[in-house]
């Protein structure tokens, strides 16, 4: 054994210093999203969009991640992750970073975006800037549209502090004087119904610019006195509370999972508070009052310098007809093979079809199910659904197939976070149409993306499949990067049928020929493939791993990558979001580089490459390298075997992204990210390259 090898063997890879905390890594991802709002190369309304997405991401972070940590503290949990941070230690570090990020959000809004929007004749008028004509129109709007639906609550023994909905807009108001009944508690709360628009555009008759907007909060603030006749408003402060939104349903104890979830959903709106956002103008007395009411700590209070919910500004692009301030529209490409044929099954039989969304159209996937629904030779259709969106054409096709007498089976994952209600409605709609609906396997989310079509061709039954890395959601198929495979390969179609049998029936998992599956073979095989590269490198032979995913968390995979790096394997990781692996540690991860791409489209595809002595193996997967994906979900990972398709995936999804020097961020060993620099090289955006390649 060489000296270097001996030194590596003595390094303890369980050292907490070698792991980045998951929650802090997630906050760093949001920092990268927020940075897009300051990028002058991005169209102005798209920069506003990124600001809104960063705000929404922070909401979910508190609703799920922070809420979970607070529960651990409340229950006295001593659980620690690979980084060895306790729940309370994580909360302290999160509070520090989250306050900084929130402050940055509003600084970007006030110092950068609002002035830039104003220069484009898009204005947001504070109530102190209304002229008389505008004030008169807004007064009328308040009396006509707002006053009838607002229900101010003056706090006294008969009117306790109201239950505040999760993430709703509210106002706490200080008062002087007595009402008609002689009451004077000094404090009232006004809740703004969610049905009310948060932004009101002034009509041309009173607008000073092409686009003049007024926030609902400004209107209520200005006219709060009208809600309390005979009394004097001495302070009006907007606030918003974020609550624990994770659902707890014991699948083992529930007799009917859908009914159990239906019963749990309402509690999401009124669960424990985890964060309080309040205008920075609010008096300390009122802040303390709210903090006490919501049972929060000072570190849970987030003062804001602007509207308490920036996500509501997401409506602006649709209210402003300024296409030059947005990304130019594009039409996803359609392969010539598909254009030349009106029978998708015959086309698939001639060779696998690989689709790269959103650069290539999602329509072939919809056509696959539509043609199956109307084809008299098709006997059965089976599909998994995780997120579908409203008015799904795929769902319509499945219903049509069932009504046409075909055997249609759909495995719906009810517990798709924040889509539970929509999925319950979807399950009911499908069942009413005669579709066989299953909810998968107790204790495991069904996250695999699969469609199986069984067709009679002569005396044989022929199977066709679609496997994908992303959801069957026609809208996100234009916003997320994903890979999809249409195939009639016998081994793959047999594998997919076996997985469906596992999901809908009872029995042991059959051995699959080509498809890797979580929770059975995926984790084990990934470790084996990493080890093969490690063995090649140990012999002095070329070894290479490239992996693209959304998140890298699972510690055994990380340690395997560390061992591969120590052996000399060259490893490039393209990880959009959370990455707990720490690159650049001497003697541990010297040979590992990690980059994140943040751009117009949300990077969502998972692609894994292993050099394998020159006969490289390449997989696409529905799974990230996370504990939950490996062990608590049903996932599929499928090989790309046709030479032309392997070359296509390698070039477009891996090589292309590794050469990005415009939208790439490089992970540093301290857990921070630095924007990639191009030096003397030509500026290159992976996403722009693909857009140009497919739409020119």
Q: Can 126 be counted among the known catalytic residues?
A: no
Q: Is 294 exposed, middle or buried (0-12, 13-18, 19+ CB in 10 A)?
A: buried
Nearest-angstrom CA–CA distance, 412 and 428: 11
CB of 499 within 8 A of CB of 448?
Answer: yes
User: For 432-451, b where at least 16 C-beta lie within 10 A, e where not — what string?
Assistant: ebebebbbbbeebbbbbbbb
Angle at 563 between CA 559 and CA 564, to 5 degrees: 115
Q: Catalytic residue among 447, 473, 523, 604, which?
A: 447
Closest CA to 125 of 232, 42, 200: 200
Secondary structure of residue 689 in the 3-state scheme:
helix
Answer left, alpha or beta for residue 568, where phi above 0 means left and psi between -120 and 50 means alpha. left
Distances (CA, A) of 125 to 74, 207, 218, 240, 296: 44, 10, 9, 22, 33
Q: At what angle do helices 393-403 and 420-432 cross, to 10 degrees?
A: 20
Strands 664-667 and 301-304: unpaired
Q: Report the distance separating Cα 114 and Cα 245, nearest Å.
A: 32
Token pair listed for 311 = 């996500």
CA 542 and chain centroid, separation: 37
CB-CB contact of 507 with 416 (8 Å)? no
Residue 615 DSSP code: S
Q: Cite the active site residues.
A: 447
């Amino acid at each position: 054994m060489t000296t270097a090898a001996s030194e590596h063997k003595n390094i303890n890879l369980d050292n907490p210093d070698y792991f980045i905390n998951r929650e802090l890594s997630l906050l760093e991802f949001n920092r990268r999203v927020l940075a897009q709002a300051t990028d002058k190369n991005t169209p102005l309304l798209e920069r506003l969009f990124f600001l809104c997405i960063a705000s929404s991401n922070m909401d979910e972070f508190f609703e799920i991640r922070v809420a979970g940590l607070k529960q651990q503290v409340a229950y006295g949990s001593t659980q620690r992750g690979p980084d060895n941070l306790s729940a309370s230690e994580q909360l302290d570090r999160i509070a520090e970073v989250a306050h900084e990020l929130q402050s940055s959000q509003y600084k970007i809004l006030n110092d950068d975006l609002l002035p830039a929007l104003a220069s484009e004749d898009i204005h947001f008028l504070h109530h102190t800037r209304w002229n008389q004509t505008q004030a008169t129109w807004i007064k009328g709007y308040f009396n006509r549209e707002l006053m009838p639906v607002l229900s101010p609550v003056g706090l006294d023994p008969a009117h306790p502090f109201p239950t505040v909905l999760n993430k709703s807009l509210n106002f706490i108001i200080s008062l002087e004087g007595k009402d008609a009944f002689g009451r004077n508690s000094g404090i009232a709360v006004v809740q703004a119904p969610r049905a009310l628009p948060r932004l009101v555009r002034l009509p041309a008759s009173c607008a000073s610019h092409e686009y003049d907007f007024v926030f609902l909060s400004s209107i209520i603030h200005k006219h709060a006195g009208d809600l309390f006749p005979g009394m004097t408003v001495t302070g009006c402060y907007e606030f918003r509370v974020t609550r624990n939104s994770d659902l707890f349903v014991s699948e083992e104890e529930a007799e009917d999972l859908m009914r159990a979830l239906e019963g749990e959903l309402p509690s999401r709106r009124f669960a424990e508070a985890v964060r309080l956002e309040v205008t920075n103008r609010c008096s300390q007395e009122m802040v303390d009052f709210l903090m006490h009411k919501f049972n929060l700590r000072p570190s849970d209070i987030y003062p804001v310098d602007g509207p308490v919910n920036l996500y509501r500004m997401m409506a602006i692009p649709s209210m402003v007809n300024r296409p030059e301030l947005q990304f130019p529209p594009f039409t996803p490409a359609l392969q010539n093979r598909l254009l030349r044929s009106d029978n998708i099954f015959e086309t698939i039989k001639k060779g696998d079809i690989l689709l790269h969304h959103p650069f290539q159209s999602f329509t072939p996937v919809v056509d696959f199910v539509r043609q199956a629904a109307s084809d008299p030779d098709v006997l059965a259709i089976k599909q998994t659904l995780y997120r579908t969106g409203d008015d799904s054409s795929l769902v319509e096709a499945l219903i049509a197939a069932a009504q046409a007498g075909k055997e249609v089976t759909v495995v719906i994952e009810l517990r798709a976070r924040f889509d539970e209600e929509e999925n319950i409605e979807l399950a009911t709609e499908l069942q009413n149409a005669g579709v066989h609906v299953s909810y998968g396997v107790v204790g495991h989310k069904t996250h695999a993306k699969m469609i199986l079509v069984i067709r009679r061709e002569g005396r044989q039954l022929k199977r066709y499949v679609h496997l994908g890395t992303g959801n069957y959601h026609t809208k996100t198929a234009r916003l997320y990067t994903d890979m999809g495979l249409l195939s009639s390969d016998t081994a793959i179609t047999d594998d997919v049928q076996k997985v469906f049998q596992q999901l809908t029936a009872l029995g042991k998992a059959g051995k699959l020929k080509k498809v890797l599956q979580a929770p059975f073979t995926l984790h084990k095989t990934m470790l084996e493939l990493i080890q093969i590269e490690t063995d090649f490198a140990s012999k002095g032979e070329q070894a290479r791993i490239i992996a693209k995913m959304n998140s890298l968390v699972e510690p055994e995979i990380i340690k395997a990558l560390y061992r591969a790096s120590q052996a000399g394997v060259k490893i490039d990781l393209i990880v959009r979001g959370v990455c707990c692996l720490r690159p650049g540690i001497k003697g541990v991860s010297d040979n590992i580089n990690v980059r994140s791409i943040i751009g117009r489209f949300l990077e969502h595809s998972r692609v894994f490459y292993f050099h394998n002595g020159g006969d490289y193996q390449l997989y696409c997967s529905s799974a990230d390298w996370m504990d939950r994906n490996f062990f608590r979900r049903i996932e599929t990972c499928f090989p790309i075997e046709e030479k032309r398709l392997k070359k296509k995936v390698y070039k477009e999804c891996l090589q292309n992204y590794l050469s990005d020097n415009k939208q790439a961020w490089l992970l540093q060993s301290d857990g921070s990210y630095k924007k990639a620099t191009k030096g003397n090289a030509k500026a290159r955006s992976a996403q722009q390259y693909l857009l140009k390649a497919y739409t020119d």
